[in-house]
A = this chain, B = another copy of it.
Amino acid sequence: MTTQLIESLTEIVGSKGILTGEDVSQRPDGWMNAPQCKAKAIIRPANTDELSAVMKLCHQNDQTVTTHGGMTGLVGGAITSEQDIVVSLERMRNIVEIDTQNRTLTTEAGVTLQTIQEAAEADDLFYPVDLGARGSATIGGNIVTNAGGNRVLRYGMTRDSVLGLEAVLADGTVISSMSKVIKNNTGYDLRQLFIGSEGTLGIVTRAVLRLRPKPRGEATALVAVERFSDLSKLLSLAEGGLSGGLSSFEVMWNDFYSLVTSFERHKAPLDANSPFYVILETQGKSDEAEQARLEELLGEALEQELISDAILTQSVSERDKIWAIRDDIEALFSLSPIHGFDISLPIPAMEGYLENLRTDLLARWPESRMIVFGHLGDGNLHVIIGKVSYDEKHELDETVYRGLAPLGGSISAEHCIGHEKKPYLHHSRSEAELALMRTIKQALDPKMLLNRGKIFD
């Protein structure tokens, strides 16, 4: 039966549109160290119509389908079994239109984030979502994982930049909601169903993205902070003082800052004696204007004793050096085996949570190291735990996650659930919520064909 299905699929997409055998198994099923792809075939439709026909056929044949975008997801959302077929959007890579007056970009879902950013830039506009994997991650992948990144504080997550969306349902139905307007209260907002649904409710094929005016200038500072409670005061001061210009408020706990700056490739711009360091960045009218605003702000913060030290960068290279500290993930590998967690918490609960976690970790793994940094303004912390064996990952996961629910925290701020976080979803969602999620899944994909085994069983 499989051979026959593959034949029929080939009729739809042509021989260029299908990979089998070694062409499949040579590919990985995700980012770095991912297992090899086990699927029966990889289907590469050229357009929505082909994909719709593919899905109709798969539906008739009860064939499960997992979608592959740029394969940069971090929770095993794209892994496959021998029973699956993969749909890859790698041949749907056209930007359809840039409407400069309306400031929208219409694109196929296989286009990479970086290509979108560059296309916007070429028209003197700006697509604000940004993340390290920009060169590979696709817009479709960004949408179904509701990707965040470095500028959420100002521009929101991917959800906030999607005006319109087209998706193919499990039975091949095409849902085209390609609206180009910001406000559209005409019945249920169907976009929202697909955004963040990790490919379990539909395959995203096209989108209309909202572009912004390109910032004309920016300014960056690194400051030292002595008390946790001063961090949120500083955030409020910065949001007020920079009135909408604040684009980053990245906090590094001392353990992060001192570890990273202990490497020779960095010169610590500030002494490593303070408990917290913050990178502040503002974007606006011109470098000079932003520099002046940020300088004034730092003056006020010093006066109010919210910060103990500060550096306002004076050049792009100074700026890059500061961000290089924040982005030096490699330095963390010196604590291997390492485990990364992407959690969120109400700001007032963070300090207590981290204190308890540190105590628990040291009690169980006396050698372990805990390194913290994150987007404080979004309530999003990256917690890196080093010197704990991979074999003990499950126990470690439970240790990190169990303290979150009582504090209203979330086990996944940005990276979603996929396959890896599935056992822990109950820490963030009640039985009633999980049941409602299943109701939605059942309604849209009653045969459970799309990305089976992800998010929940």
Chain A residues in contact with chain B, CB under 8 A? 99, 101-104, 145-146, 148, 152, 154, 156-157, 159-160, 169, 173-190, 192-193, 195-197, 201, 212-216, 229, 232, 236, 239-246, 282-285, 289-290, 344-348, 375, 378-380, 408-417, 421, 425, 428-430, 432-437, 439-440, 442-444, 455-456
Contact = CB atoms under 8 A, between A and B. Distances in A.
In order of increasing CB-CB distance, the 6 nearest A-B pairs are A244-B244, A243-B284, A192-B192, A443-B443, A183-B413, A186-B428
A185 B443 contact: no
Nearest to A435: B173
A285 B241 contact: yes
Nearest to A233: B101
Copies of this protein in the assembly total: 2
B176 A430 contact: yes
A112 B117 CA distance: 41
B244 A154 contact: yes
A154 B155 CA distance: 10
Contact of A432 (B173, B229, B245, B430): B173
A230 to B, nearest CB: 11
B410 A190 contact: no
Given A185-B415, A190-B433, A243-B245, A346 B232 contact: no
A47 to B, nearest CB: 17
Contact of A184 (B182, B240, B421, B428): B428
B181 A346 contact: yes
A183 B148 CA distance: 8
A412 B99 CA distance: 22
B410 A179 contact: yes
